[in-house]
């Protein structure tokens, strides 16, 4: 009898987890899109309410200093389940000029989320100024398809930092 009750409880919890998840969202945050030579930027991809394989973006004119550093969390509050995974990378420009970060991808159950490419401008730093890459600014939000299979509009928040 106890086994049956345990089975029913587990089944109920698992089904509520599956049914209460919201649409998948990928957020892109960056510390700056203009950098002084000798410094580095922080780039963070956060995937909410989805799990899957994250594919790093291609880097043009930038070297990977650290990363991808990952973190994940899952919470359940009043039957609503949410999960989040973050991938943080630190990049340093090789030389002065415009450099590009290609799109990042995450393959989820509802399809592939793709971010927009990012342009980074590296400028000369004759005084050796050190910049802190700790404050992130939201650059883009990419939404998944809804239950009917219709792709939701990409909500892009682009601005010069």
In this prediction, residue 107 has a pLDDT band, given cuts at 50, 70 and 90, of confident
- DSSP assignment, residue 56? P
Beginning with the edge strand found earlier in the chain, give each strand of the sheet holding 97-101 in spatial order.
34-36, 118-123, 97-101, 59-60
In whole numbers, what is the pLDDT of the chain averaged over residues? 80
Percent share of the chain, pLDDT over 70: 76
The CATH topology of domain 21-156 is Immunoglobulin-like (2.60.40)
User: By C-alpha distance, which of 60, 94, 89, 79 is closest to 20?
Assistant: 79
The answer to whether residue 135 scores a pLDDT higher than 80 is: no
Q: For 140, list phi and psi in degrees, rounded to 5.
A: -160, 150
The answer to whether residue 49 scores a pLDDT higher than 80 is: yes
Residues whose CB falls within 8 Å of the CB of residue 13, separated by 6 or more in sequence, listed in order = none
Stated pTM of the model: 0.74
The predicted structure's pLDDT at residue 2? 57
H helices then E strands: how many in the chain?
Answer: 1, 13
For 80, the token pair is: 């609503």
Task: Taking residues 86-92, report their average pLDDT.
Answer: 95
The predicted structure's pLDDT at residue 153? 45
**Spatial separation of the C-alpha atoms in residues 76 and 53, rounded to whole Å:** 23
In this prediction, residue 149 has a pLDDT band, given cuts at 50, 70 and 90, of low
Tell me the per-residue pLDDT of 1-26, one tens digit each, with 9 for 90 and over. 556 554 454 444 444 444 444 588 88
2 vs 32 pLDDT, higher one? 32
The answer to whether residue 79 scores a pLDDT higher than 90 is: no
The predicted structure's pLDDT at residue 50? 85
Q: How far is CA 153 from CA 50, 137, 138, 139, 146, in A?
A: 18, 21, 17, 15, 11
- DSSP assignment, residue 1? -
The predicted structure's pLDDT at residue 51? 82
């Amino acid at each position: 009898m106890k086994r049956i009750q345990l089975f029913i409880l587990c089944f109920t919890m698992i089904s509520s987890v599956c049914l209460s998840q919201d649409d998948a969202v990928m957020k892109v945050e960056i510390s700056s899109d203009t950098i002084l030579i000798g410094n580095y930027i922080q780039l963070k991809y956060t995937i909410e309410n989805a799990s899957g394989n994250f594919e790093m973006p291609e880097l043009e004119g930038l070297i990977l200093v650290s990363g991808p550093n990952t973190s994940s969390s899952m919470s359940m509050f009043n039957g609503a389940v949410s999960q989040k995974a973050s991938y943080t990378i630190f990049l340093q420009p090789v030389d002065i000029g415009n450099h590009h970060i290609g799109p990042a991808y995450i393959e989820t159950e509802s399809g592939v989320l793709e971010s927009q490419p990012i342009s980074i401008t590296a400028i000369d730093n004759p005084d050796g100024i050190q910049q802190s890459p700790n404050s992130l600014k939201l650059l883009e939000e990419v939404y998944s398809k809804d239950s009917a299979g219709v792709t939701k509009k990409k909500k892009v928040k682009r601005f010069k930092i």
